[in-house]
Amino acid sequence: MPVASCIKLLTIYNVLQKVHTAKYTWNSIVNTSGTGLYQMSQSQACGGFVLKHHVKYTVRKLYQAALIDSSNAATIALGRWVAGSNAKQIRKMRTQLSSWGLRGNYIISVSGLDNGDLSRYGYRYPGSGYYAQNTISAQDLAVVARNLVYKYPEVTNTTKINHARVHGQWIHNVNTTLPGRKYNVASLHINGLKNGYTPRAGYCLVGSSCKPGYHKLITVIIHDDDMSSDTTALMTHIYKTHRLR
């Protein structure tokens, strides 16, 4: 299934891999040059967090924009920083999935945008069709999220943030299952993880819960207009019917 921006979790995994090496830090500067990237960040449909030519962006700031605001431009810039180019990051994502034994998925986008959007900004993966998009199973996406949360648990410190200010811009998390939001259920202790939407993928949500005294729980909802309420209903059902202690 197409999962839109939920695939950003795989790019974020690679970002954290690199940050945790001795050579790089959260304060490393990321190259955000390129007309296409700046134009994408200013697009109503594909943007959100606007990149500015005179600003030097660190890994930390783009990481926040990618996870909280779901910025496509920030995610692509991070992918280029990780692997050296957009195409190389896509190949790295494919290799990462294979290393976890996840096969049969199709990855052509670092951010989750379809080629219909990526083509106009110069980020269409070579050899992929004009209407191509990422596809991955719900179970495999859950494995991606599980590996991310297991190896880098600090990621939920960012995914649970509702609003933040980055370089003078407010960024907003559209995940309405978070504390203080409309569909939050306090007893579930939800701390993210990632939402996504494109017209073809519909509304998608990878949920994460860390209920005291229980194992961490990850849920995946794909192509569901009621993704938020269905996420909390699914989490509630699992806690009631399965031994997770």
> Which residues are marked as active site?
5, 8, 70
Asked if 77 and 30 touch (Cβ cutoff 8 Å), the reply is yes
Q: What are the start-end ranges of the E strands in the chain?
A: 29-30, 57-58, 163-166, 169-172, 190-198, 202-209, 217-221
Degrees (nearest 5) of the Cα angle 186, 162, 18?
110
**Is 92 labeled as ligand-binding?**
no
Degrees (nearest 5) of the Cα angle 189, 62, 110?
90
Conformational region of residue 140, where left means phi above 0, alpha means psi within -120 to 50, and beta covers everything else: alpha
Quote the tokens at residue 47. 């943007």
- Cα dist from 43 to 47, 50, 202, whole Å: 5, 9, 20
CA–centroid distance for 68 within its chain:
9
The full length of the chain comes to 245
Instruction: Say if residue 11 is exposed, middle or buried (CB neighbours under 10 Å; 0-12, 13-18, 19+).
Output: buried
CA atoms of 47 and 69, how far apart (whole Å): 9
Give the CA-trace dihedral at 12, 15, 20, 22, to 10 degrees.
Answer: 180
Considering only CA atoms, which of 101, 108, 111, 107 is closest in space to residue 36? 111
Binding residue positions for substrate? 194
